Amino acid sequence: MLEAGGDVGGTWYWNRYPGARCDVESIEYSYSFDRTLEQEWNWTERYASQPEILDYIRHVADRYDLRRDITFGTRVEAMRWDDAAERWTVRTDDGRSRTARFVIAATGCLSVPSRPAFAGMADFAGELYWTSNWPHDGVDLTGKRVAVVGTGSSGLQTITAIAPDVGSLTVFQRTPSYAVPAHNGPIAARLDEVKPGYPEFREESRLSRLGFHCGEDETGYYAETPAAGVRRELDRRWSDGGLCFTLSFRDVLFDADANEALAEYVRERIRAKVNDPGTAEKLTPRTYPIAAKRMCVDTGYFEVFNRDNVSLVDLGEEPIERFTERGIVAGDAERAFDVIILATGFDAMTGALTAMDIRGTGGALTEKWAAGPRTYLGLMTAGFPNLFMITGPQSPSVLSNMMTSIEYHVDWVTTALEHLRASGRHRMEPDIEAEDNWVNTTNDVGELTLMPRAASWYTGANIPGKQRVFMPFVGGVGTYKQIGDGVAVAGYHGFELT
């Protein structure tokens, strides 16, 4: 195993910014592969904090003695397929090359930060940090004049956490986010409830739409629900908290009226939380359907703007012109800062794969994917034999509980490798026809929804020059599992095994 980080943890190793926390419930966002492990570990909160998740991952690495097989601090730069030898040569940044029959790219969906180059950035004399690569020793922000650029999940959590400590906080917002309350809290009672039936609970998650429980069976259609019932359901989902709010009705992602009802409900809540009507309006999302960009889960984010030390800059009105030695010029004003924090997101889903120079039987992956990723089931791509992806593009991945989706892919790949070995074969690759069909299927299902209507990282819209195409499979985790299981049972239908 080759790992760029200095230790295990991936996302939770790098993203150590203040307030970092998972917005999938800890009871769901954990490994299910070992029943003893899931019984032993006790989460403390409904939504686990970054330090607690990192502790958990370290515990798992120690418990199964995984570190002995991991080379840390080593980044893969290039991979080349040798068709005669039927092996990959993998070159790393330490100058070494290794060969392998099979390669599994478990490189993450949100692991390559997007780092916009603002003019004059190098001139800034204060401290500059990226949430996606936060210093391990932490940063003392007490009493300082701080700017945060970016108001996605990372920005929201950072802003909420640091506001009480900093001298002043200026938030630079390009697009406001829809956010639902977390209602975080202790979890002991819920753990006692779930643990005795954990295997069944996990199986339900694997067959659900998002890879975690959202009471889907009780969900109706907005179009068939009377106004009072709509209100009751939204109030109930809001007081439950968390991402399941987006599953209040089955048609939220398909029916513009249903979507607008949810969006308007959230806007009303924002207006109720923010004292100054002008600031509330700026914080109110209006330009894209709710849930078409990744929803945020917040703990007092909007209320932060009622504090005297917090102000909001709407980049629509006052675009960032440049950074200076003292701070940031936006609109006509230069604002001075001691610290600038950039929470500007990631080159999502394809970024980690295209950052490596991967060459298969017919050329480079970057060329093959120039007009968007092309995969079969998000697991493999034709022309790149024996290269598996974990939560690759065109699988549910980022639209799901990543733990459920990661475990499913790991199991699927493991079973495929066992099958190859048992049948005396050593090469696997998708048929181009199966791949084309899958690409068309994921695009068609995506187009049925409102999701492509937002300029989101799901479509690559946040990366200048990246081809805009809706990348995840939106058909749901359970449906995807049924398809993936069916393909395997049918002798890996659509794959060529030799």
Instruction: Give the footprint of ligand N01 on this chain (CB under 6 A).
Output: 21-23, 110, 116, 149-155, 157, 174-175, 294, 297, 315, 343-346, 398, 457, 462
Nearest residue (CB) to ligand N01, 88 versus 346 = 346
Nearest residue (CB) to ligand N01, 277 versus 464 = 464
Nearest residue (CB) to ligand N01, 56 versus 438 = 56
Q: Which residue is nearest to ligand N01 (CB)?
A: 152
Nearest residue (CB) to ligand N01, 320 versus 428 = 320
Shortest reach from residue 312's CB to ligand N01, in Å: 13
Shortest reach from residue 18's CB to ligand N01, in Å: 12
Shortest reach from residue 405's CB to ligand N01, in Å: 13
Q: What is the largest CA-CA distance in the chain?
A: 70
Nearest residue (CB) to ligand N01, 150 versus 360 = 150
Nearest residue (CB) to ligand N01, 294 versus 368 = 294
Nearest residue (CB) to ligand N01, 116 versus 331 = 116
Shortest reach from residue 17's CB to ligand N01, in Å: 9
Shortest reach from residue 77's CB to ligand N01, in Å: 25
Shortest reach from residue 93's CB to ligand N01, in Å: 24
Shortest reach from residue 251's CB to ligand N01, in Å: 23
Shortest reach from residue 21's CB to ligand N01, in Å: 6
- One-letter-per-residue 3-state SS of the chain: CECCCCCCCCHHHHCCCCCCECCCCCCCCCCCCCHHHHHHCCCCECCCEHHHHHHHHHHHHHHCCCHHHCECCCCEEEEEEECCCCEEEEEECCCCEEEECCEEECCCCCCCECCCCCCCHHHCCCEEEEHHHCCCCCCCCCCCEEEEECCCHHHHHHHHHHCCCCCEEEEEECCCCCEEECCCCECHHHHHHHHHHHHHHHHHHHCCCCCCCCCHHHCECHHHCCHHHHHHHHHHHHHHCCHHHHHCECCCCCCHHHHHHHHHHHHHHHHHHCCCHHHHHHCCCCCCCCCCCCCEEECCCHHHHHCCCEEEEECCCCCEEEECCCEEEECCEEEECCEEEECCCECCCCHHHHCCEEECCCCEHHHHCCCCCCCECCCECCCCCCEEECCCCCCCHHHCCHHHHHHHHHHHHHHHHHHHHHCCCCCEEECHHHHHHHHHHHHHHHHHCCHHHCCCCCCCCCCCCCCCCCCCCCCCHHHHHHHHHHHHHCCCCCEEEC
Nearest residue (CB) to ligand N01, 16 versus 481 = 16
Shortest reach from residue 182's CB to ligand N01, in Å: 9
Closest by CA position to 219, among listed 258, 249, 198, 174: 249
Strand partners, 45: 186
Nearest residue (CB) to ligand N01, 23 versus 435 = 23
Shortest reach from residue 175's CB to ligand N01, in Å: 3
At 263, phi and psi to the nearest 5?
Answer: -60, -45
Nearest residue (CB) to ligand N01, 292 versus 387 = 292
